[in-house]
């Protein structure tokens, strides 16, 4: 079992109606790797600056994440400053400092190339192509993207979709990519472009899986307090991909289970800032919330009599 993730590692400054944090651990590869690590072995390729706190690297390593692919480059770490109002589905970006991430060129250790699963986080599609040319994962290749790359690198992204098994994006990105207002139509179009499976995340409204078998809707977990949704999508992707890598199956039953695993991890993530809630989790906690998902979605079906 092994997943390789290539993506960003960042320091985030976040403000929500429930508090704020300055220069906390963030980045797509960070959230993904910690989440996936509950299920399988994870290797990370990314870059940080000389200002990146050693305690964050120690934290990931202690958790079991293979961090040998994280380069420490001259300069400052990628930083994001954002805030949320009471609509926690919408993040307002106040500032983005790419710093060393601007010239990021993935350096992949030789033994990483034997991974079972590859996850290309939301980096430049040209870099995603570069990584994919050098790696042939035995199980699957999945990727994420973002509105910036859809706008600036659309043709490169569309070419990439022909080479991957799974695309994981949010609803706004799906609409932007397909130029379709309807999410159901958008999911079908994306699958026609290449990916066998498409997952469209809808924030507090759950997520949809599109496959040859049809559509599966995974709900979000009903929480009384959502503190910070930063990284929830990457945490979902980590749970989803990590579980599939663990069981080495891509059948309809396994995919549905993976959707709930992803939703369970994401529901924990939003309960505190940065990775603070995820740090407290045990595998028992995850299994318990997975079971709670089953309870809130199950109903006996004696047949509808109208």
pLDDT digits (tens, 9 = 90+) for 180-213: 999 999 999 999 999 999 999 998 899 999 999 9
Distances (CA, A) of 27 to 33, 112, 254, 284: 10, 20, 27, 26
Alpha helices in the chain (DSSP H): 28-36, 54-63, 125-134, 147-152, 154-161, 171-178, 183-192, 232-247, 252-269, 283-297
Query: What's the DSSP call for residue 150?
Result: H
Question: Using one digit for the tens of pLDDT, what is the confidence trace for 235-258?
Answer: 999 999 999 999 999 999 999 999
- Distance separating alpha carbons of residues 265 and 301, to the nearest angstrom: 29
Higher-confidence residue of 225 and 46: namely 46
Question: Using one digit for the tens of pLDDT, what is the confidence trace for 170-186?
Answer: 999 999 999 999 999 99
* pLDDT > 80? residue 143: yes
Half-sphere exposure of 81 (CA within 13 A, CB side): 5
The two three-digit tokens of residue 217, written as one number:
């809707």
pTM of the model: 0.96
Contacts of 87 (CB under 8 A, 6+ apart): none
- Distance separating alpha carbons of residues 65 and 38, to the nearest angstrom: 10
- Distance separating alpha carbons of residues 292 and 302, to the nearest angstrom: 22
The two three-digit tokens of residue 239, written as one number:
């749970």
The answer to whether 186 and 212 have CB atoms below 8 angstroms apart is no
Hey, where are the domains in the chain? 3-84+93-297
The domain 3-84+93-297 is placed in CATH, from the list 1.10.760.10, 2.60.40.1180, 3.40.1190.20, 3.40.50.720, at 3.40.1190.20
The answer to whether 250 and 46 have CB atoms below 8 angstroms apart is no
């Amino acid at each position: 079992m092994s997943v390789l993730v290539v993506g960003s590692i960042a320091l985030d400054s976040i403000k929500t109606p429930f508090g704020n944090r300055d220069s906390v651990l963030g980045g797509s590869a960070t959230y993904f790797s910690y989440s996936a690590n509950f299920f399988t072995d994870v290797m990370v390729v990314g870059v940080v600056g000389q200002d990146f706190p050693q305690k964050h690297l120690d934290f990931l390593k202690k958790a079991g994440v293979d961090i040998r692919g994280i380069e420490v480059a001259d300069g400052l770490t990628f930083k994001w400053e954002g805030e949320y109002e009471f609509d926690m589905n919408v993040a307002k970006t106040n500032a983005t400092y790419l710093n060393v991430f601007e010239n990021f060129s993935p350096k992949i250790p030789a033994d990483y190339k034997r991974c079972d699963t590859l996850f290309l986080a939301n980096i430049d599609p040209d870099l995603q192509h570069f990584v994919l040319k050098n790696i042939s994962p035995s199980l699957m290749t999945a990727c994420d993207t973002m509105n910036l790359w859809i706008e600036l690198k659309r043709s490169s992204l569309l070419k990439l979709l022909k080479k991957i098994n799974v695309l994981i994006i949010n609803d706004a990105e799906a609409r932007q990519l397909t130029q379709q207002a309807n999410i159901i139509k958008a999911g079908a179009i994306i699958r026609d472009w290449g990916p066998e499976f498409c997952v469209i995340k809808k924030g507090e409204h759950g997520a949809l899986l599109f496959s040859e078998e049809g559509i599966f809707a995974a709900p979000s977990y009903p929480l009384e307090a959502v503190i910070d949704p930063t990284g929830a999508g990457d945490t979902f992707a980590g749970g989803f991909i990590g579980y599939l890598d663990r069981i080495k199956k891509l059948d309809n039953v396994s995919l549905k289970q993976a959707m709930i695993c992803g939703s369970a991890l994401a529901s924990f993530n939003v309960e505190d800032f940065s990775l603070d809630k995820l740090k407290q989790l045990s595998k028992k906690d995850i299994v318990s919330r997975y079971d709670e998902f089953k309870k809130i979605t199950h109903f006996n079906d004696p047949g509808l009599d109208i």
